[in-house]
């Protein structure tokens, strides 16, 4: 089975010492932080457009579902909210801030990344955060009542947030100029399932897609540092190795 090496999920020294243990721990929610050298606020739009555009070639949607602009910090009321996508009947709504991104069932329509970014960043201030949601498809085991479980490609909403340098007292220093919230790490481990041949194959494809997306957004957007992290737990590579009985 394909297991990413620690080098594929590099650690950056830019994270503060108080949170330096993040790279060896992981919980339910997976994030990717990206940093850029001497990034000017006016250049943030192009970086966000490129990052959002990378999803289409790496298992995701070509269209952006929604955008929200937050002033000063997360406790303030958004100054801009726009939803371009529309989920099919039966789809789960987009999660509220502070909740993990969830799965969505049904087609999502939206607008091109450049249009979404241009509209949101019309309100360009150095103490604002610009949050976008876009669909990303992963293999998940679908268990419907009365039917045998089957593996299906399920879309989920992923958050991509760009930070002004003064937002929330300079949170970009710790979280990155751009942060991607992938939601639950369950599709990359499936710890509640028996890891048979079929499950291992689908988990492997999810992990490979994650590795390829993280590499693509860094290269295409010109990030000089990236960090895949979570709030608690071991690194993804370590947990995969343990899951397969390949630990020390």
Distances (CA, A) of 84 to 11, 55, 174: 35, 17, 30
Q: Please return the burial class of 246, using the count of CB atoms within 10 Å of its CB with bins 0-12, 13-18 and 19+.
A: exposed
The pLDDT, as a whole number, for residue 18 is: 28
Q: Is the pLDDT of residue 15 over 80?
A: no
Cβ neighbors of 79 (< 8 A, separation 6 or more) are 69, 70, 71, 123, 128
- Nearest CA to 179 out of 158, 202, 206 is that of 158
pLDDT band at 4 (very low <50, low <70, confident <90, very high): low
Identity of the highest mean pLDDT range in 12-16, 104-108, 198-202: 198-202
pLDDT 10s digits, 54-64: 999 999 999 99
pLDDT 10s digits, 122-163: 999 999 999 999 999 999 988 888 888 899 999 999 999 999
The pLDDT, as a whole number, for residue 24 is: 31
Q: Is the pLDDT of residue 37 over 90?
A: yes
The order of strands in the sheet holding 128-142 is 80-83, 60-71, 128-142, 150-163, 178-184, 29-35, 225-229
The pLDDT, as a whole number, for residue 246 is: 56
Distance from C-alpha of 155 to C-alpha of 104, rounded to nearest angstrom: 5
Mean per-residue pLDDT, 35-49: 97
Q: Is the pLDDT of residue 27 over 60?
A: no
The pLDDT, as a whole number, for residue 189 is: 86
The pLDDT, as a whole number, for residue 16 is: 33
Task: Determine which of 75-84, 172-181, 189-198, 222-231 has the lowest per-residue pLDDT on average.
Answer: 189-198
The pLDDT, as a whole number, for residue 127 is: 98
């Amino acid at each position: 089975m394909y297991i990413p090496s620690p080098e594929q999920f590099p650690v950056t020294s830019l994270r503060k010492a108080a949170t330096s243990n993040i790279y060896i721990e992981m919980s339910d929610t997976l994030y990717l932080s990206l940093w850029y050298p001497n990034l000017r606020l006016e250049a943030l739009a192009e970086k966000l457009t490129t990052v959002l555009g990378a999803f289409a070639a790496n298992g995701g949607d070509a269209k952006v579902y929604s955008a929200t602009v937050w002033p000063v910090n997360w406790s303030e009321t958004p100054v801009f909210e726009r939803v371009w996508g529309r989920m099919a009947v039966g789809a789960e709504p987009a999660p509220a801030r502070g909740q993990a991104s969830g799965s969505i069932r049904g087609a999502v329509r939206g607008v091109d990344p450049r249009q979404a970014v241009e509209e949101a960043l019309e309100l360009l201030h150095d103490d604002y955060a610009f949050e976008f949601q876009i669909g990303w498809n992963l293999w998940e085991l679908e268990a419907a009542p009365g039917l045998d479980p089957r593996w299906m490609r399920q879309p989920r909403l992923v958050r991509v947030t760009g930070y002004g340098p003064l937002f929330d007292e300079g949170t970009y220093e710790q979280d990155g100029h751009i942060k991607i919230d992938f939601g639950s790490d369950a599709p990359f481990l499936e710890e509640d399932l028996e890891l048979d041949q079929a499950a291992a194959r689908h988990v492997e494809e999810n992990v490979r897609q994650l590795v390829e997306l993280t590499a693509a957004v860094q290269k295409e957007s010109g990030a000089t540092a990236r960090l895949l992290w979570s709030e608690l737990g071991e690194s993804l590579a370590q947990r995969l190795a343990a899951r397969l009985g390949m630990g020390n």
